[in-house]
């Protein structure tokens, strides 16, 4: 991995020191960072006007295919661009070797690309959080070693292999302890917002799939409500397995009276067909430790009460 081409398709950077720190760290690893000017664009809450951000995305179709594309940050902004993105042209460049990575709001791009073309994108690190996270005092934090290792493996070898060692409390009663299927998913809020639109893969495409979900700043009752919507829409029951990543940075209240994330998952477990396992502890989400997951690739998982192993090549 010699070059990373930045794009800023969603929210504007909240400060200049964060992306600059990330760029400097990548340079220290021998990576040339291209299109760094995108980090300074600001229009309202967005990283530039819609036309600017759309043009930047559609230009991915003409990039040299050996470049890795990385989103600067999430926030919100991609959904309003989806109707005018040149999906087929970008997908053709992906088929030629281009790899495109991001998470959070970038889930909208990844799921729409999968829906429209079947092309594989990467749910993984972004510049601002994963390479340039700042402490309260403004001190840079060294990027997570697992994240960097997994990202490099995904980019250079197009491979995912990882074992999660964590007690699995929501397995249900699956008939066997392994399965294969299309790996797809991302941010729960963004994915749920695509239900009923032409940008979410249909039930035929995701049947027997491995759905991964994460979120941030969402109280467990909102997580439960979104999972319930996916359940009532037939999406959860259509999967081979559901993998839950990090659900972070929420606050419980006194009037929750013991209701928490476990209670929300337990309710979904009770309503989901028992043969579909819910696996927890996937290192992915708004957290420093994360895998790079190929959205739209075939994956295989093996699991039991003590954890699970996931692997994929694309």
Which residues are known to be catalytic? Answer: 104, 214, 286
Which residue shows structure tokens 């839950």?
A: 244
Q: State the Cα–Cα distance between residues 3 and 23, nearest whole angstrom.
A: 11
State the CB neighbour count (10 A cutoff) for residue 36: 16
Q: What is the largest CA-CA distance in the chain?
A: 55
Task: For 151-235, list the strands marked E by DSSP.
Answer: 159-165, 178-187, 210-216
Spatial distance between the Cα atoms of 285 and 215, rounded to a whole number of angstroms: 6
Sign of CA dihedral 42, 147, 224, 197: positive
Q: Are 195 and 233 in contact (CB under 8 A)?
A: yes
- The β-bridge relationship of strands 307-313 and 298-304 is antiparallel
Three-state SS at 246: strand
On the 0-12 / 13-18 / 19+ scale of CB atoms within 10 A, 300 is: middle
């Amino acid at each position: 991995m010699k070059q990373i081409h930045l794009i800023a398709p969603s929210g504007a950077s909240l400060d200049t020191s964060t992306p600059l720190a990330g760029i400097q760290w990548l340079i220290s690893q021998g990576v040339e960072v291209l299109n760094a000017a995108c980090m300074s664009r600001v229009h309202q809450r967005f990283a530039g006007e819609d036309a600017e951000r759309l043009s930047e995305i559609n230009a991915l179709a003409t990039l040299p295919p050996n470049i890795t594309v990385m989103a600067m940050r999430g926030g919100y902004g991609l959904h309003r661009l989806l109707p005018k993105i040149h999906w087929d042209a970008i997908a053709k460049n992906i088929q030629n070797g281009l790899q495109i990575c991001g998470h959070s709001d970038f889930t909208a791009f990844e799921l729409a690309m999968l829906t429209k073309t079947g092309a594989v994108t990467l749910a993984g690190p972004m510049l601002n959080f994963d390479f340039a996270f700042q402490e309260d005092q403004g001190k840079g934090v060294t990027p997570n070693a697992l994240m960097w290792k997994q990202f490099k493996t995904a980019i250079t070898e197009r491979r995912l292999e990882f074992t999660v060692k964590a007690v699995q409390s929501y397995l249900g009663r699956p008939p066997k302890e392994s399965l294969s299927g299309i790996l797809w998913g991302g941010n729960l809020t963004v994915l749920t917002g695509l239900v009923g639109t032409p940008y979410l893969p249909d039930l035929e495409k995701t049947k027997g799939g491995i759905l991964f979900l994460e979120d941030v700043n969402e109280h467990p009752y909102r997580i439960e409500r979104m999972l319930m919507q996916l359940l009532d829409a037939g999406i959860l029951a259509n999967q081979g397995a559901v993998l839950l990543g990090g659900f972070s940075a929420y606050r419980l209240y006194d009037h929750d009276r013991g209701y928490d994330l476990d209670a929300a998952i337990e309710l979904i477990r009770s309503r989901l067909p028992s043969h579909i396992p819910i696996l927890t502890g996937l290192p992915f989400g708004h957290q420093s430790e994360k895998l790079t997951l190929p959205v739209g690739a075939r994956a295989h998982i093996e699991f039991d009460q003590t954890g699970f192993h996931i692997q994929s090549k694309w």
